[in-house]
């Protein structure tokens, strides 16, 4: 069963005073539930754009995207927000943590939004699991890059998303921290049976995927 289907997706960015950029030029793909798909390709080929439109964070200019049977391009913003909160986890290269919230609050937030009564306990358990039990009350600016990425990982998985998107999750980390984040990501994926779509420049990481998609100039080769 395909959990994600994209058909002829086009995404164009308008730039004031300059020509527009065709970041996605008709992308069609299917991802089966439970699959681990790696996306690779040169800088500027459209990988991050693909992830943001596939996950419903941004809308394409043309084409359709079905997430777990729901047509993202036709959905109302409220339904889309609910879908993102309950079904989707997103791990950003530059973490996107809320600066005014502690590590613990950042992780608990999506679960509280979903009305989860044990959000705080679950968040604490996840942070302990990734070795951050001494950092629960730290704010993002007090954490190292590797620590921030582990907090972001806990936040991405707290609602046990059916679909997990990760954009170069190890891009800003040294080798050891990068391997640690990947190990945790794959462990958590296995436990909740999530589908994972991950952008990476690492051949070693791509080699661990069920399938590798290579992007070039806004298309999948």
Ligand X SMILES: Nc1ncnc2c1ncn2[C@@H]1O[C@H](COP(=O)(O)OP(=O)(O)OP(=O)(O)O)[C@@H](O)[C@H]1O
Q: Name which position in 16, 17, 43, 117 contacts ligand X (CB under 6 A).
A: 43
Is 172 a binding residue for Mg ion by CB under 5 A? The answer is no
Q: Which is nearer to ligand X, 21 or 113 (CB)?
A: 21
| Residue 178 interacting entry, from ligand X, Mg ion, none, C-beta within 5 to 8 Å by type | none
How far are the Cα atoms of 47, 73, 77, 214 from residue 42, in angstroms, in the given order?
9, 27, 32, 9
126 or 173, CB closer to ligand X? 173
Sign, Cα dihedral of 131, 134, 137, 140: negative
Q: Is residue 19 close enough to count as binding ligand X by CB under 6 A?
A: no
Interatomic CA distance for residues 27 and 24, integer angstroms = 7
Helix (H) or strand (E) holding 167: strand 163-167
- CB of 63 or CB of 82, closer to ligand X: 63
Give whichever of 34 and 171 is closer to ligand X, judged by the CB atom. 171
- Cα three-residue angle 101-146-98, rounded to 5 degrees: 20
> How far is CA 70 from each of CA 6, 91, 102, rounded to the nearest angstrom?
11, 22, 34
Segment interacting with ligand X (CB under 6 A) among 13-21, 62-70, 154-162, 204-212:
13-21
Smallest gap from residue 133 Cβ to ligand X (A): 33
Question: Judged by CB under 6 A, which of 33, 35, 48, 120 binds ligand X?
Answer: 48
Task: Examine residue 2 and tell whether it contacts ligand X (CB under 6 A).
Answer: no
- The stretch among 39-47, 61-69, 70-78, 84-92 that binds ligand X (CB under 6 A) is 39-47
| Distance in Å, CB of 46 to Mg ion, minimum | 8
* Residues 18-48 as b or e (16 or more Cβ within 10 Å = b): eeeebbbeebebebeeebbbbbbbeeebbbb
Looking at 21, 33, 212, 214, which residue binds ligand X (CB under 6 A)? 21
How many angstroms from the chain centroid is the CA of residue 32? 16
Distance between CA atoms of residues 51 and 39, nearest Å: 9
45 is an interface residue for ligand X by CB under 6 A: yes
Q: Which stretch, 10-18, 47-55, 126-134, 207-215, contacts Mg ion (CB under 5 A)?
A: 47-55
Tell me the three state secondary structure of residue 128: helix
Q: Quick check: 141 binds ligand X (CB under 6 A)? A: no
DSSP conformation class of 57: S
> Which residues contribute to the site for ligand X (CB under 6 A)?
13, 15, 21, 23, 41, 43-49
């Amino acid at each position: 069963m395909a959990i994600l289907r994209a058909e002829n997706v086009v995404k164009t960015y308008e730039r004031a005073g300059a020509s527009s950029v065709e970041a996605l030029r008709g992308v069609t793909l299917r991802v089966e539930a439970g699959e681990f798909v790696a996306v690779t390709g040169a800088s500027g080929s459209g990988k991050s754009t693909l992830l943001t439109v596939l996950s419903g964070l941004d809308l394409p200019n043309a084409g359709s995207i079905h997430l777990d049977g729901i047509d993202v391009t036709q959905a109302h913003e409220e339904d889309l927000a609910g879908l993102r909160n309950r079904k989707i986890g997103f791990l950003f290269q530059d973490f996107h943590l809320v600066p005014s919230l502690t590590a613990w609050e950042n992780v608990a937030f999506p679960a509280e939004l979903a009305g989860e009564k044990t959000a705080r306990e679950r968040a604490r358990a996840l942070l302990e699991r990734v070795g951050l039990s001494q950092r629960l009350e730290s704010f993002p600016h007090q954490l190292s890059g590797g620590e921030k990425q582990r907090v972001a990982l806990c936040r991405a998985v707290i609602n046990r998303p059916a679909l997990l998107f990760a954009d170069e999750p190890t891009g800003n980390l040294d080798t050891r921290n990068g391997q640690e984040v990947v190990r945790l990501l794959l462990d958590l994926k296995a436990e909740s049976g999530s589908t994972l779509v991950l952008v990476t420049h690492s051949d070693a990481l791509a080699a661990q995927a069920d399938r590798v998609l290579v992007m070039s100039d806004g298309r999948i080769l």
